[in-house]
Structure 1
Amino acid sequence: MSLAGVVAFGWPLLVDPGTTFSHSTDAPLLFSLLMPLLLAVVLAEISEGGLDVKAIAMLGVLSAIGAALRPVGAGTAGLETVFFLLILGGRVFGAGFGFVLGATTLFASALITGGVGPWLPFQMLGAAWVGLGAGLLPPLRGKAEIALLAAYGAVAGLLYGVCLNLMFWPFTTGLDGELSFVAGAPLTDNLQRFLVYSLATSLGWDIGRAITNIALVSLTGTVVLRTLRRAARKAAFEAPVEFTPAAHGTTRPAGSDMRG
């Protein structure tokens, strides 16, 4: 899925001069590819033990919460209030869970807010990568973990903005020569133009998103991580049953009380 996403974001950089293209044609194809592959990720995680009943239930709960939180910030000045939840959820439940959580949260949010359009599959992929990366971070605990997640939130907020810029930039018209995309130009030239475009048009919003992630992870990280981990332990539906010998030679489930 990530490879398909890289191709979807970057293919305009490789087209021939004079080529006409539009996300109104490739976005439906990407979306039709994205949904079955998401299902494939879920099934693969279930078969490998990465997701069980409790994790699937938690996926639905966190996706609904994230979809409700997103309109609170609405992206104004980069105030995105949903990414911290993707980071914390991916941290607790793993990279596969975080990937699916990011995609389903943005999809549910778009349905609620009417934000369905050619940009949606690209937003889903960008958010999925945010959750994926959180699940791949090294194991830490305490203040060091919060600091790590806050730093990751800052980087992820900036990179998410870069990804969405890359989706939109080739189709932006009315820009001068230093900012505009030139179909068929050398890759290094277009990347330089893209860097200038990002710095000039969206850096302020991206920094706002990064600061929002740092603040929300720092303020809520300890409590939310503890809550999610407690929920994962208490809802251990898949915990194995072990049998230990009883005093009189029979067997009984570990932890059971024979007095009753």
Structure 2
Amino acid sequence: MCTLIIGLDVVEPGSVALAANRDEDPARPSAGPALLLDAPPVVGGRDLRSGGTWLALRARRAAVAILNRRPRADDAPPAGAPRSRGLLALAVAAAPPVADAAADAALRALGAHPHAPCTVVWASPDGGWALAHEPPAAPVLRPLAPGWHVVTHADLDDRAEPRTAMLLDDLAGWAPRTPDALEAGLWARLRLHGDGAARPPVCIHDGPMPTVSASVVWLARGGARYLHVQGRPCEGAPADHSHLLADEPPAPDGGAHGGSR
């Protein structure tokens, strides 16, 4: 996945929204939203090459997204064959749906297997975090503050990345009052085609990694929505997959490394 928008508490306290475009080699096979794990219940699209996912929903409790990071010139290659980053997303989604447990699962998986550079985002109505993995450096965990956040190929809210800076400026001050208004505004942003270097495209048509699917998710203490377009978001209508999100009893309270409330 290459563009992720996160909105924490923007519609109401105790809610989180995610909007994501997946940019990928069109020849890499994948399947749309389905039940990925039965117990615990995890839903998302599946990478049919490696078996992982780019966006995993833990019932109605939390979402996990994985974004490939742009390699740096001085990055060392992983020690050994790297494990699919999509399997990392599944491992985090299978952990208990509280922030500390999810972060521990991510750190354990990164310690147990080599992974190429990536950012892992965990978000729930109670808070969230973003974890930057750039080996051989130690992973860096940052809590999500209430408000809007954007991640692409670089750090969370990195204004040196043009697409991130453009979207952060566009989202500043936007406070949709209803989930319907939220979804409409997020789809509009996922469909942006840009008009030059200062406003790069969010929906990508050219190059080896065009946009191949898009999703909008809203999780709140009183409900959940999961919408998905298999293909570019500017060309298809979202399908509602909310029925896949099962109820799950609340987990015991857990910390969030500063990211839960």
Q: TM-score range by the shorter chain?
A: under 0.3
Which structure features the higher share of strand residues? 2
Which structure features the higher share of helix residues? 1
What is the TM-score normalised by the length of structure 2?
0.27
Task: Tell which structure's C-alpha radius of gyration is larger.
Answer: 1
